[in-house]
Amino acid sequence: MNAARIKLLPEHRQIIRTHAESIYPEECCGIMLGSLASGCKTVVEVIPTVNAWNTEAADFAHDPREYSTRRRYAIAPQIMLQTQRDARNRNLNIIGIYHSHPDYPAIPSEWDRLYAWTEYSYIIISVQNRKAGELQSWTLDDSHQFQAETIEYIN
């Protein structure tokens, strides 16, 4: 079941904004830990990660910019596994992933949709000319299509 809302603290939003601006014009990415209760995800921790997209493995038959860290992101599997273990030890879960869209709106791409998991929230932040802008959250429905998720800022 997809959650209709995700709750973030102002400092979580700031971590994402700062990470996105510092990595521009590359895509940043990171993991969100938290809990799920009554159809609402609550973020407890935001963990910036290295964009481990491997351009060596990309198909450069197309525009190489489309297959670089400027348009793709990946979180290393060993980072996901270690984060999952650490979260479990703290009675938390990985509840989502965030990434930036340099010079592009905060809407999911087809690539984002193809590689997304139904149980996660996907926060996307648009970065235009080094300045973090719109931040939106998305979840996959049962038809594997993205639906907007309400972001609730809590204090």
pLDDT reported for residue 67: 61
**Res. 3 pLDDT band, cuts 50 70 90:** very low
Q: Could you report the per-residue pLDDT of 17-48, keeping only the tens digit for each?
A: 999 999 999 999 999 999 999 889 999 999 99
**Res. 54 pLDDT band, cuts 50 70 90:** confident
Which helix (H) or strand (E) segment holds residue 100: the answer is strand 93-102
The residues with which 153 forms a beta bridge, in sequence order, are 8
pLDDT reported for residue 83: 98
Residue type, 89: N
List phi, psi (to 5°) of 12: -65, -45
pLDDT reported for residue 55: 54
> Does this model's pTM top 0.95?
no
Per-domain residue ranges of the chain: 5-153
- The SS3 assignment for 95 reads strand
* Euclidean distance between CA atoms 70 and 25, whole angstroms: 6
pLDDT at 57 over 50: no
Q: Could you report the per-residue pLDDT of 94-111, keeping only the tens digit for each?
A: 999 999 999 999 999 998
CATH level 3 topology of 5-153: Cytidine Deaminase; domain 2 (3.40.140)
